[in-house]
Amino acid sequence: MKIEKTRIVRVTPRPVEKTYNMTMRGPNHNYFANGILTANSHSMAYGYLAYQTAYLKAHYPTHFWAAVLSNELNNTEKVVKYINEARTQGIEILPPDVNISLDNFTAAGNAIRFGLAAIKGIGQSAVASIIEARNNGGAFRSIFDFTERVDSRAVNKRVLESLIRAGAFDSSGHRRAQMFAAIDAAMESGQRSQRSRASGQADLFGAFADAMPTVEPPLPNVDEWSQHDLLRGEKETLGFYISGHPLMRYDEALKDFANADVDRLAGFHHGAQVVIGGVVTSLNVRTTKKGDRFGLFQLEDQFGTVKIVAWPDIYSKSSAILKDDAAILVKGRLEIDDGGAKSIISDEIQSLENLRERSARTVILHFPVAAIHSDRLDRLYAVLDSNRGDCALVMEVELEDGSIARIQPNQFVRVKVTPELTNSIKQVIPECRVEIVVQRATSAAR
């Protein structure tokens, strides 16, 4: 309804009301709000709210995203989505910390600190007890100090496991595997101490106890978890990887074989052939009417996720490697629906594990002439002889005048490329740089 066509019949003063909650008494009733004649109260309120949030997002992005994430605290899917959006704005996501984090997400300069209540398996009562103990007694020195001071009725073994796996105790300076192995001892020690305080009992030394420094038992001497296990713990407790990403170890392979990532898919048109690497999540195996199995899953990289469809012929070839958390390379056709949602119909799926080695065509050894002498050459040939395969070998020797001499052994000197081969060559000739030339999936070999 246009204002110039509106004929005002009567104006009746009304008391102050929340405009978004007003109900009109009839189809021809309108009202003035802040001097503006309007017929739809909630539309005006939504418009004003949209203006406010847009302003906050543009000028105070960390506070904006912290508020958005806190609002979706219990929806892991949305939390992950908004974290990825915040990261595209250059905002760093800091891990949870029992000595810093509050219950919700909080702004910290140009970063956002993960909230304790957003960790899976931790309830509000546990978070409240942690924050209360921290406010009353200062930062927690260790897991033993934590269990002694935080109410054991609110923080059980499962909560401690989630906190450790999420990295919330990393600021204590101890390794996660050590703390995880000490959970039972810490829980027992903390409960014993709290029972003693509750009963009013004094220790054998009485008043001297407060003056004596607290001696905590040493943490178990166990090996730290592998990078894979560390990241898996973060994913299971936080919903995403926060200290790294499983794809980081495949950077070289992705440079050689992939032509896209989730962020760059926006630059491809419908029907384009793309090659993209990622980690399998939400794998769902279904059956066609003919009884053939096919797979639907999300492929996740550092920038987000994209839906992958593996029809029966592709799924039958790749089912052995299609597991949740598996790192794979997908080649296929990009599809974009009318709403802009993207998916990839796969034509080929490969494991990223040792992909460069499996696709190697030539190994080039670069080293200065001064690094070579007869003993090293004998040891080098012994390494090559014990790693026979189908890959050609070339040596590029830097001479004293700076020129390069390219030496190719006879045609029978061919090797099998493995991480062990590379490590063995480096042990024999530490100055050697090993270059693996691969047959790329998207272009000719470099």
Q: Tokens 């600021």 — which residue? A: 171
pLDDT at 213 over 60: no
Q: Are residues 188 and 174 in the same domain?
A: yes
Tens-place pLDDT, residues 402-428: 899 888 877 778 888 887 888 889 899
Q: Are residues 35 and 174 in the same domain?
A: no
Tell me which residue range forms the domain holding 319.
Answer: 248-353
Q: What is the pLDDT of residue 83?
A: 87
**Averaged pLDDT of the chain:** 85
Evaluate whether 339 touches 314 at the Cβ level (below 8 Å). Answer: no
115 assigned to some structural domain: yes
Length of the chain: 446
Tens-place pLDDT, residues 312-338: 999 999 999 999 889 999 999 999 998
Boundary-marking domain end, from 188, 211, 234: 211
Q: How far apart are CA 91 and CA 84, in angstroms?
A: 9
Q: How far apart are CA 224 and CA 229, in angstroms?
A: 9
236 assigned to some structural domain: no
* Distance, CA of 223 to chain centre: 23
| pTM of the complete model | 0.68
Count of the separate structural domains present in the chain: 4
Q: Are residues 207 and 78 in the same domain?
A: yes
Q: Are residues 67 and 150 in the same domain?
A: yes
232 assigned to some structural domain: no
Q: Are residues 30 and 172 in the same domain?
A: no
242 assigned to some structural domain: no
446 assigned to some structural domain: no
Tens-place pLDDT, residues 97-108: 999 999 999 999
Q: What is the CATH number of the domain that holds 318?
A: 2.40.50.140
Q: Are residues 371 and 399 in the same domain?
A: yes
Q: Are residues 255 and 397 in the same domain?
A: no
Q: How far apart are CA 265 and CA 268, in angstroms?
A: 5
Tens-place pLDDT, residues 136-158: 999 999 999 999 999 989 999 99
Boundary-marking domain end, from 300, 325, 353: 353
Q: Are residues 104 and 160 in the same domain?
A: yes
Q: List the structure tokens of 426.
A: 């480096």
Q: Are residues 306 and 407 in the same domain?
A: no
Give every strand in the sheet of 106-108, ordered side by side: 92-94, 111-113, 106-108
Q: Are residues 317 and 264 in the same domain?
A: yes
Q: Are residues 68 and 204 in the same domain?
A: yes
Q: Are residues 74 and 35 in the same domain?
A: no
